[in-house]
Homo-oligomer: A and B are copies of this chain.
Amino acid sequence: MGKAQCSYVVILACSLLVNLLVVFKLLYTDGEWALSWTKRSAEQAEQVAAISCSGHGRAYLDGLVLDGKEPVCECNSCYGGPDCSEFTTDCAANADSGNPYFLEPFWMQHAAKSAILVAGWHRMGYTYPDNSFISTQLEASIHKLHAVVGNAVTEGKYFVFGAGSTQLLNAAVYALAPENSSSPASVVASIPYYKLYETQTELFRSLDYRFEGDVSSLKNISDADHVIEFVTSPNNPDGKLNKAVLHGPNFSAIYDRVYYWPHFTAIPTSADYDIMIFTLSKLTGHAGSRFGWAVIKNESVYQRMAEYMSTSSMGVSRDAQLRALKLIDVVLETGGREIFEFGSNTMKDRWEKLTNTLSVSNRFSLQKIAPQYCTYFQKIRGPSPAYAWVKCEREEDEDCYKVLEEAKVKGRSGSDFAAETRYVRLSLIRSQDDFDVLIQRLSELVLY
């Protein structure tokens, strides 16, 4: 063989080898599946996710589409423009609702693990294989979650799913109210309380129960009276680990434990009450999915709550249940470690920034939360509450909401918690942008 011929053979051999390798790679792609019908939707999702919105907004698959192009950016408050890059310097800080966007960065960091591809024919029917409206797999994951976190005893208890905690609150009231009693049961809570207990109970105008306001409004009650007490722990708005005030043969409590996760509080003990309510919203931050669950001790109470869910909405969307399963399974992969460290560090950091900011003056005070031993992190933890419960200390600042509003801070008035208007709740669980603007506005206010 001549020199030229020899090098031809070498080049040819190399070329053929490359061919072989590439064809092998194409066929087997590292043992991965060659995608077919899922490709298009996967591409769409990646294209939408790649719209950056300058880090101050988000484009969604179901966002508004202009001129047949890609979905538009939905900007965080105080940001605008087509790519959310324009900051409005004098805009108001939004610290109103409990939109739990503080966990959004966590899910963006775990994109591959938390994505779900839903086939067009996924769970079209009403029921799961056991003829219920409740996914057995999801129920098992939630059991495991509570065992791992140690925040609630669920062994031997029953589960009911609802559209967030919201739908379960009235389901619980319904289940606890005596049937065909001569007088309606009294529904109460301790001030300051989450206003929805009141608006929801009043909306339904039931013959069987009636909202009566603060626990202290019940004067001269006898053991014969039926009372249903909402106990929120940690409390919304002030983060206190409340316990039931009333105890008696016909008194029952609905424990709203939606904030009882290591993001927001030390977990001193595993809660073990007759009815406890939780929601995905304050665990993974997915308020929009509308998925919550109740853990119930008593079988007949469980049956009445399940009947309520069937009759009022035939259970909870199977799409929401699929999403909850995926998200909770991601949480469980590290025994909750990753998300709870992320969440509690974020909330602790925000609380410290807020207390430092307000400490410059005596005009505002915050609720006190003592450090406490957390069985989950196995150490003593300082406060990291979901909300600041702010008090305006100056005598003339009777309407604290107005004081803050004038300083371009939108909170939620104490009156929305049946408390004095001298108080305002500030939400600390919103997006980082919202929190940054809040601190900015408060810094200006305390200096003034």
Seen from chain A, the residues whose Cβ lies within 8 Å of a Cβ on chain B are 2, 4-5, 8-9, 11-12, 15-16, 18-19, 22-23, 25-26, 32-33, 35-49, 58, 60-65, 74, 97, 99-101, 103-104, 107-108, 110-127, 129, 135-138, 162-164, 166-167, 170, 174, 196, 199-200, 203-208, 285-291, 307-308, 311-323, 325-327, 330
Contact = CB atoms under 8 A, between A and B. Distances in A.
B107 A121 contact: yes
Interface centre among A25, A121, A286, A322 (most CB of B within 10 A): A121
B120 A115 contact: yes
A429 to B, nearest CB: 11
Contact of A203 (B39, B114, B307): B307
Given A11-B12, A116-B118, A290 B315 contact: yes
A15 to B, nearest CB: 4
Contact of A117 (B16, B42, B206, B316): B42
A11 B19 CA distance: 12
Contacts of A48: 119
22 contacts: A8-B9, A33-B43, A35-B43, A37-B49, A37-B112, A41-B112, A45-B117, A62-B135, A62-B138, A64-B136, A99-B126, A101-B125, A103-B124, A104-B121, A107-B124, A115-B118, A125-B288, A163-B317, A164-B314, A166-B312, A167-B312, A317-B317
A33 B61 contact: no
Instruction: Kindly list the 5 A-B residue pairs having the minimum CB-CB distance in the complex, ordered from nearest.
Output: A114-B120, A163-B313, A107-B120, A288-B318, A45-B117
Nearest to A130: B64
A199 B43 contact: no
A126 B166 CA distance: 12
A174 B206 CA distance: 12
Contact of A313 (B138, B164, B204, B206): B164
A333 to B, nearest CB: 13
Contact of A206 (B15, B74, B138, B205): B205
Contacts of A103: 124
B120 A111 contact: yes
B33 A38 contact: no
Secondary structure at the A interface, as helix, strand, loop or mixed, is helix
Nearest to A33: B43
B33 A47 contact: yes
Contacts of A49: 37, 119
A119 B326 CA distance: 11
B320 A126 contact: no
A317 B163 CA distance: 7
A200 B325 CA distance: 29
B124 A286 contact: yes
Contacts of A321: 62
B22 A26 contact: yes
A327 B32 CA distance: 29
Contacts of A18: 19
A39 B113 CA distance: 10
Contacts of A203: 174, 307-308, 311-312
Nearest to A117: B45
Contacts of A64: 129, 136-137
A340 B352 CA distance: 60
B208 A119 contact: no
Interface centre among A44, A61, A107, A307 (most CB of B within 10 A): A61
Contacts of A325: 62
Nearest to A104: B121
A62 B101 contact: no
A425 B247 CA distance: 50
Given A62-B138, A110-B120, A205-B206, 8 more contacts: A8-B8, A12-B15, A42-B117, A61-B117, A61-B118, A62-B321, A64-B136, A116-B118
Given A125-B99, A206-B205, A311 B200 contact: yes
Contacts of A129: 64, 74
B317 A63 contact: no
